Amino acid sequence: MEKILLPYGRESVAVEIEEGHLAGVLRSGIHGYKPPMDGEALVRASMEHPIGTPRLRELAAGKRKIVVIASDHTRPVPSRVIMPQMLAEIRAGNPSADITILVATGLHRTTTRDELATKFGDEITARERIVIHDCDDAANLVNIGRLPSGGDLVVNRLAVEADLLVAEGFIEPHFFAGFSGGRKSVLPGIASRATVMYNHNAGFIAHPKARTGVLDGNPVHEDMLFAARAAKLAFVVNVVIDAAHDPIFCVSGDCDAAHRAGREFLAAKCQVDAIPADIAISTNGGYPLDQNIYQAVKGMTAAEATVKQGGVIVMFAKSQDGHGGASFHRTFRDEPDLGRMMRTFLARRPEETIIDQWQSQILARVLLKARVVYASDCDDQTVRDLHMIPAHSAAEAMDVAKSLVGRPDYKVTVIPDGVSVIVREGAAPA
């Protein structure tokens, strides 16, 4: 019997695979990587040697209004490590700078005070000016042009009116933007709802280059990079993190050049070849990324890349917050036919994109390839509404999966952290 620990919320669960049935385990090399120094030192060294720009203190000199874009509560960015050093570096170059931390919520709910304190620490939360981006606050949004795809580029007024715009963030594989980090601080981070939805249109999501780890030819990425340049994002500090969410690599400087160095490091560690199997097990890496079903679609796409057509995906995600998106939930609850759902998405023009359509489209794509057993703390009806089969333990999930396969010679591929790997399809069948 093979026993494999999987992250689940703030804890872990053990899945047991009977002898002879394990095809393979797909792990990111990131989790075994030992950095040459601790996280604070990594960030400091990176900021002292930026890629493609002068140091942040030099950029800050003579600038009055400086805006630092920060990630929100849904991202495990170690802001307690990054933000104090960014603020200190800015003030080293300009002690009188008027600094605003702008929390990039994208289309997410507002970040709470407690979440800010957890993210930044009590001192920064109490002393710094922190503004939460609101994608629907028309009075604080400004149109600064048109995206290459044709959509209006509307972003937060504070960013537009800043004398210097910088950002913190982290780099991980992203299931349709290729990688997180860098340019994503602007789009979707501080963009209007309409701008984000245009960028996340059905044609882009269906594009063969809009996949994990792919940037060349990816139309989603191309819009995002254009937006960052148009908003004059001048400097980023981006980290790569391990399973404990501690920095193990850091890049600073130009939002594309520095980001490219970070993603090259990451890709070298986290690309794995698919091991086709009847059952593919995945997770969303535990808290905070597995708080709801909406976010867990990301981890499912790793399993999608290795499960056989008509197979079974077992997804472990605590999902204590439920579905994570009302429109996302309604889309599946009200449409029993996944093929018709997909045709409806693809028929919509970019400007007709509805909220959460991109996540619904990707989940529908996954479900059209494989049945999904969803092991979580979520209520059964919500899981069934989303066309998945509920389970509440590893043993139950595996029993259901094996019964769905219906063959004694089934094979299982396990992905302990589905958001930390880039699964390359096309490996030889197991």
Q: Annotated catalytic sites, by residue?
A: 108, 174
The β-bridge partners of 237 are: 168, 252
The β-bridge partners of 155 are: 142, 191
55 touches 92 (CB < 8 A):
no
Beta-strand relationship, 98-104 and 129-132:
parallel
Q: Is 244 exposed, middle or buried (0-12, 13-18, 19+ CB in 10 A)?
A: exposed
273: its two tokens: 């070849």
111 touches 118 (CB < 8 A):
no
- Distances in Å between the alpha carbon of 333 and those of 292, 298, 360? 16, 20, 11
Angle of helix 39-48 relative to helix 79-93, nearest 10 degrees, comes to 30
Query: String of b and e for 172-201 (b: at least 16 CB within 10 Å)?
Result: bbbbbbbbbbbbbbbbbbbbbbbbbbbbbb
DSSP 120-149: H-HHHHHHSEEEE--TT-GGGEEEEEE-TT
71 touches 168 (CB < 8 A):
yes
Query: String of b and e for 61-91 (b: at least 16 CB within 10 Å)?
Result: eebeebbbbbbbbbbbbbbebbbbbbbebbe
The C-alpha atoms of residue 225 and residue 186 are separated, in whole angstroms, by 9
CB-based contacts of 328, cutoff 8 Å, min separation 6? 293, 294, 356, 359, 360, 363
Report how far Cα 345 is from the mean position of its chain's Cα atoms: 22
Torsion of CA 106, 107, 108, 110, to 10 degrees: 80
